Amino acid sequence: MTQDVAVHPLVSPWGRFGLYSFFVDAPEPAIVDTGIASSPAAMAPALQALGRRIEDVRWILLTHGHIDHVGGAFALWNLTGRRARVVIHEADAPMLRSRAAHVAEYRAGRGRYLRDPQGAARVAAAADAVISGEMEPTVLVRGGEILPLGGGVTVSVHAVPGHTPGSVAYAVDGQRSVFTGDAVQVHGAANGFPGYTDPAAYRAGLTRLRDEVRPRTLYLGHPYRRADGRPYGVALDEAQTREALTQSLDAERRVAAAACACLAAGPAESDSPYSPFAPVADALGYTGDPALEPSPFFTTLHGYRAQHHRTV
């Protein structure tokens, strides 16, 4: 390849969130992440403006199984005449196959702390509203695969679990354009807190991206924020990428220190909305609403609690 393959961001809004998908203009075109059910319909005119057609998309590359990334997959697959191959890590595939998997994930993690009797019903309603259809993926990956996008263009799959068990990064080989979905959280997006279910895996994934994958351009799944609250744009250059990975590791280290202190003392139930992790919110100066979905505060703290129980 002498010329880089062009990457075009496709942005769709969803409540407080900006959802980023990307069109990879390869001979067999790809779209990375699909937003929610209504997102693909807005992608068609955006591609038309580029002189491309959504029905020609041949790859749907999903970074992980959360509803704001897989919600549009079935609708987009239909727009391609069901010809696109739909790729997801096997560990997150249940989230594409079944809306009920999203409710199960809620109950097993953040739902334990939210004291919301309607919580699971709300997640079920959200899954109904924003997942365009349950479907079987075409290609299951585990990391290490190389996907051929025609004309010698290839995309490498890197397993970067932590945000979810099946989070992956896709790298356009040769030009190191890397799509990480939500595997790089910096200081979090709209909720102001980084979200991951497995802290050790999250840290390892960030280190791997920094030292081995080394993106030249990094494409995030949302406008994640720096320590001072300023959000990153839709594409990060090499210097911004190093900064975002360093800040992500620093943020994890701070959360880990506060979480481990709290867990060592024994988490205590209280009237605090952060209960039983109120000392963690205090130590970090976190004042965000911990109940706002997707509730990264409780998702992440539950991850440290599970890790703590495995090691003591």
The contact set with Zn ion (CB under 5 A) reads: 66, 182
Q: Are 178 and 220 in contact (CB under 8 A)?
A: no
Minimum gap (Å) between residue 147 Cβ and Zn ion: 21
Minimum gap (Å) between residue 290 Cβ and Zn ion: 17
Cα(207)–Cα(171) distance, rounded to whole angstroms? 16
Phi, psi of 139 (to 5 degrees): -130, 120
Q: Which of residues 10 and 183 has its CB atom nearest to Zn ion in the complex? A: 183
Nearest in space to 280 (alpha carbons), one of 199, 189, 212, 162 = 199
Minimum gap (Å) between residue 70 Cβ and Zn ion: 10
Q: Which of residues 92 and 278 has its CB atom nearest to Zn ion in the complex? A: 92
Cα(90)–Cα(86) distance, rounded to whole angstroms? 12
- The kind and range of the H/E element at 11 are strand 7-14
Q: Which of residues 47 and 131 has its CB atom nearest to Zn ion in the complex? A: 131
Cα(65)–Cα(261) distance, rounded to whole angstroms? 31
Q: Which of residues 4 and 293 has its CB atom nearest to Zn ion in the complex? A: 293
Q: Which of residues 20 and 74 has its CB atom nearest to Zn ion in the complex? A: 20
Tokens of 106: 């809620």
Q: Which of residues 182 and 198 has its CB atom nearest to Zn ion in the complex? A: 182
Tokens of 107: 């109950």
Q: Which amino acid is at 151?
A: G
Nearest in space to 99 (alpha carbons), one of 122, 75, 133, 68 = 133
Tokens of 195: 């979200």
Minimum gap (Å) between residue 279 Cβ and Zn ion: 26
Q: Which of residues 221 and 279 has its CB atom nearest to Zn ion in the complex? A: 221
Minimum gap (Å) between residue 52 Cβ and Zn ion: 27
Tokens of 145: 């695969």
Minimum gap (Å) between residue 217 Cβ and Zn ion: 21
Question: How, if at all, do strands 146-148 and 154-159 pair?
Answer: antiparallel
Minimum gap (Å) between residue 95 Cβ and Zn ion: 10
CA 244 to chain centre: 15
